[in-house]
Structure 1
Amino acid sequence: MTQYRLGSSEVVYTPGFIAWAIRNHDAGIQKIVADTWSIPPDAAHALLSGQVPHQIEGDVVVFQC
């Protein structure tokens, strides 16, 4: 399993964005998440579909898959 750490920036607060993306999950949002944080599409799908749990550490979203 690989651990992914999706960090925030001055523009995007990742925990809030990921919460929104989970509620509105579709292929377009999945691609945005994968491209923005340079993670594989299947990891983005696992996160957004709820197949894997995630944790919030400050302004970072952490998950493994």
Structure 2
Amino acid sequence: MRRKRRAIAICVPSVFDVAGRLDELCDGNGASMLNRLTVLLKAVIAIISVCVVIALSLTAYASGIG
């Protein structure tokens, strides 16, 4: 009897998958993906800026300025 081979799925994006996603940005159908990336970038910038403001506030409070 022959054994059946089973493929092992690995959750790592291939080079072709990444290249395909970059191609989506270049054609007309990639506008939604570009919009999602823009929203994600704005969210990351907002979170970092809030963290910086909190850190500066805590530093000022600890040094007795505030």
- TM-score normalised by length of structure 1: 0.25
**Comparing both structures, which one devotes a greater share of its residues to strand?**
1
Which structure has the bigger radius of gyration?
A: 2
Select the structure that is richer in helix. Answer: 2
